């Protein structure tokens, strides 16, 4: 059973398997200094990420309150090392405050201490704390860790799903997107310094069948897609969802390959009907429902003959967007 203890900061060892630290040491070497680890965790930067509290706000909260609210989680190993499983950022902040002689008590930190945890138990704690917890890792780091569990540690998908709360499709997409990014995006870069993990959301979107198939049907592949992402032809990244419509429209496709998705979408409208553009969701949904429910069989058969027609592609794009929106509405917080 774990015990609650107050541990000296100098006894703690930061977790080098933490995805944010691990990604950093893979790039800069296997023996990072304390300063480099702090940099990997976000020390000194105003914003750690877009999900959860920023590093700056966490740091200021700890300074104001004179300590942490939630204890860190530590694994005491057989050789009496105290490895920080959850709370590396908080420990780094304490160390920085102690070094800078910030007013307060920074030599000790409250901790929940386990002893000789098996790797699988450590994985479960990390996943609960960061994949379904309030302070997420960035999406790329999540995906990297899920891929590691699946393909290096060979955990079964049901095991990973159990840790993550049962969202199988999300986990599968994260792993697939991570592998696509490594296989197709990284090789097109001149150096690893150009690798931008914030582009990960584009690779999540391209897992959708209608987007992926339209790219291939248009004579492109995922290397092409990676170049579009890198060269910011797909900007903002959410415009990935419009690729089926863009690639199905010759004029939009030409503009896209030259000036990007945002410009291409300007030639794909809804017939210039201002009244439709200003209509509310209820009205649009009602009209579309009636239109589809009374669709003549001959028109349906004609559409089915050519799935590349603009109105068919528009329906497929709507299907993806509507499905995502309804799923988010139904999901419990």
Please state, in angstroms and as integers, the Cα–Cα distance from residue 312 to each residue in 130, 145, 169, 267, following that order.
40, 38, 25, 17
Q: Where are the domains of the chain?
A: 3-129, 138-207, 224-333
Q: What is the pTM of this model?
A: 0.55
Q: What's the rounded Cα separation, in Å, for the pair 156 and 92?
A: 33
The whole-number pLDDT of residue 157 equals 83
Query: Which pLDDT value is given to residue 13?
Result: 87
Q: What is the pLDDT of residue 231?
A: 96
Q: pLDDT tens for the chain, 333 residues: list them.
A: 789 899 999 999 888 777 667 776 676 665 555 556 666 666 555 443 333 445 666 777 788 888 887 889 999 999 999 999 888 888 888 988 888 889 899 999 999 999 999 888 888 887 776 655 445 568 888 888 888 888 887 888 887 776 665 578 888 999 999 999 999 999 999 998 899 999 999 999 999 988 999 999 999 999 999 999 999 999 888 889 889 989 989 999 999 999 999 899 888 764 455 566 678 888 888 888 888 888 888 888 888 877 666 677 677 767 767 877 787 777 654
Residue 38 confidence (pLDDT): 60
- Burial label for 314, CB within 10 Å (0-12, 13-18, 19+), is middle
CA atoms lying within 13 Å on the CB side of residue 101 = 0
Residue 307 pLDDT: 67
- CATH assignment of 3-129, among 1.20.1250.20, 1.10.1370.40, 2.60.40.1180, 3.90.1530.10: 3.90.1530.10
pLDDT at residue 270, rounded to an integer? 47
How many whole angstroms separate alpha carbon 207 and alpha carbon 213? Answer: 10
Residue length, the chain? 333
Provide the pLDDT for residue 131: 58
């Amino acid at each position: 059973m774990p015990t609650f203890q107050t541990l000296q900061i100098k006894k703690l060892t930061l977790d080098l398997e933490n995805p944010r630290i691990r990604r950093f040491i893979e790039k800069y070497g296997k023996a990072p200094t304390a300063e480099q680890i702090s940099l990997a965790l976000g020390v000194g930067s105003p914003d750690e990420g877009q999900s959860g509290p920023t590093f700056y706000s966490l740091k200021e909260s700890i300074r104001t309150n004179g300590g942490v609210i939630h204890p860190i989680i530590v694994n005491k190993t057989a050789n009496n090392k105290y490895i920080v499983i959850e709370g590396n950022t908080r420990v780094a902040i304490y160390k920085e405050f102690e070094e800078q002689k910030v007013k307060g008590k920074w030599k000790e930190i409250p901790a929940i201490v386990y002893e000789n945890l098996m790797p699988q138990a450590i994985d479960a704690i990390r996943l609960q704390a960061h994949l379904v917890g309030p302070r997420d890792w960035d999406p790329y780091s999540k995906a990297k860790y899920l891929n590691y569990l699946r393909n290096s540690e060979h955990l079964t998908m049901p095991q990973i799903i159990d840790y993550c709360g049962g969202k199988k499709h999300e986990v599968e997409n994260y792993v697939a997107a991570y592998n696509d990014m490594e296989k197709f995006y990284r090789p097109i870069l001149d150096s690893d310094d150009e690798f931008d993990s914030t582009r990960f959301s584009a690779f999540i979107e391209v897992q959708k069948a209608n987007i992926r198939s339209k790219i291939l049907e248009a004579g492109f592949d995922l290397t092409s897609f990676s170049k579009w992402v890198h060269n910011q032809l797909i900007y903002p990244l959410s415009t990935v969802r419009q690729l089926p419509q863009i690639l199905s429209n010759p004029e939009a496709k030409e503009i896209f390959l030259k000036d990007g998705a945002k410009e291409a979408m300007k030639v794909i409208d809804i017939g210039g009907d201002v009244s439709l553009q200003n209509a509310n969701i209820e009205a649009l949904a009602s009209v579309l429902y009636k239109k589809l429910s009374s669709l003549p069989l001959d028109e349906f058969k004609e559409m089915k003959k050519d799935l590349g027609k603009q109105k068919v592609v528009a329906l497929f794009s709507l299907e993806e967007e509507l499905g995502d929106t309804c799923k988010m509405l139904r999901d419990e917080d």
